[in-house]
Amino acid sequence: MLIPVSISISVVIFMIVHLLPGDPIDNLIRVGSSPDDRARLIAKYGLDQPLFTQYFRWIAAMFQGDFGDAIVLRRPVADLIAQNLPYSLQLGGLAFAFSSIVGIIFGTISAVTRSAAVANFMRGFILLGSTVPGFWLALLMILFFAVRLQWFPVSGARGWESLVLPVLTIGFGGVALVARVTRVALMDVRREDFVVLLHAKGLSSTSILMRHLLPHAMLPVVTILALRIGWILGGAVTVEFVFGRPGLGSLLIRALGQRDYPVVQACLLMLALAVMIGTLVGDVAQAAMDPRVREAKK
């Protein structure tokens, strides 16, 4: 399953990028240079070869860790990725952990609370978190916490302080998503027959929640989290841009603007890789948590 998917992803990414209009060579050529210079550049980057050949060259090179050279930035793409990836992993990882932990806690509270005020607050939070645009939230955060209160730096990636606002911004949407799924899942499990019998055994509501309901509710949550790893990294695209942080997102947006094919390809490939790893980890986690899934896999 994974092999055909990765092949199709690589073809799609390769094709998409070659459908892009605009010519990166134009960006490189100084005014007044001869057509010969132009031809030499095209040959240098292999742009004169048939698409088919270009694809196989690209794949072969990639397996050797060679993503080619950035056309506009004139550096090995691998270097650019290596430089930006840690920032994205840091931000994405923190935002992911924050979304999962806080989301599960919020979702659980909103499912079990008997207080109408708490339930309404949670509903409101989930609604806001899943609707407010990320970039706008980022701007408001900057205005309030960085400009007005001056608690955190406005932009950049120096020290942990510069991570707080971006993590909170991505996390706001992430927490809402996880909380919503947790809440719905808990409500659903609570209606299952076996819960009546758990109460009949004399277990306390708390231990039923912790030992039985939550493990069940985690099944859909893990599925969603695995599926949405790409979304959380994607959210990082806009947030990195607004906060002026280095990272795959900023790199991708800049490269899209400059029509720098190799960079765009590498960035997309990294994101696709993250999505596939997410799916894989999700499957493994499902199997670890649910004996029925384990059985079906055998």
Partner 1 sequence: MLEVRDLEVAFGPIAPLSGVSFSLAKGETLGIVGESGSGKSLTAMSIMGLLPLSGGRITAGSIIFDGQELTTLAEPVYRKLRGGRLGLITQNPMTSLDPLQKIGPQVDVVAKLHLGMTSREARARTIEILGTLRIPEPKTICDRYPHQMSGGMKQRIVIAMALAADPDVLVADEPTTALDVTVQAQIIRLLDDLVKKRDLALVLITHDMSVVAQTCDKVVVMYAGRAIEHGPVEDIFHAPQHPYTQALIGCIPKGLSEDEHLTGIPGTVPTVVNYPKGCAFHPRCKAAQAICSTDRPGFVTKGQSAAACHFAGAVQ
Partner 2 sequence: MTSISSAVLGLRKTAVSRAFGSWLGRIAGGFLILLVLTAIFAPWIIPFDYAKQDLMNGNAPPGWPHLLGTDQFGRDVLSRVIYGARTSLSVSATAISISVSVGMALGAAAGYFGGFFERAVMTVVDLTWSFPDILIALIFVAIIGPGLTSTTFAIAIAYLAQFTRLTRAQIVRLKGETFIEATINLGAKPSHILLKHLLPNAIAPVIVVGMLAIGDGIVLEATLGFFGLGAQPPTPSWGAMMSSGTAQLFLSPWVIIFPGVAVAVTVIAVNLFGDELIRALDIRDRIKGA
- Residues lying near partner 2 in the complex (CB under 8 A) are found at 4-5, 8-9, 12, 16, 19-21, 127-128, 130-136, 139-140, 142-143, 147, 184, 227, 230-231, 233-235, 237-238, 241-242, 252-253, 256, 259, 264, 268, 271-272, 275, 278-279
Residues in the chain: 298
Residue 22 engages partner 1 in binding (rule: CB under 8 A)? no
Give the one residue of 201, 206, 297, 298 binding partner 1; rule: CB under 8 A: 201
With 0-12 CB in 10 A as exposed, 13-18 as middle and 19+ as buried, what is 65?
A: exposed
Interaction residues for partner 1, span 173-192 (CB under 8 A): 192
Give the one residue of 20, 97, 101, 196 binding partner 1; rule: CB under 8 A: 196
> Which residue has 């095209």 as its token pair?
42
CB of 211 to partner 2, least distance (A): 26
Q: Which stretch binds partner 1 (CB under 8 A): 28-36, 100-108, 160-168, 196-204?
A: 196-204
Using CB distances below 5 to 8 A depending on partner kind, what does residue 164 bind out of partner 2, partner 1, none?
none
Using CB distances below 5 to 8 A depending on partner kind, what does residue 131 bind out of partner 1, partner 2, none?
partner 2
Q: Which residues bind partner 1 (CB under 8 A)?
A: 192-204, 212, 215-216, 289-292, 295
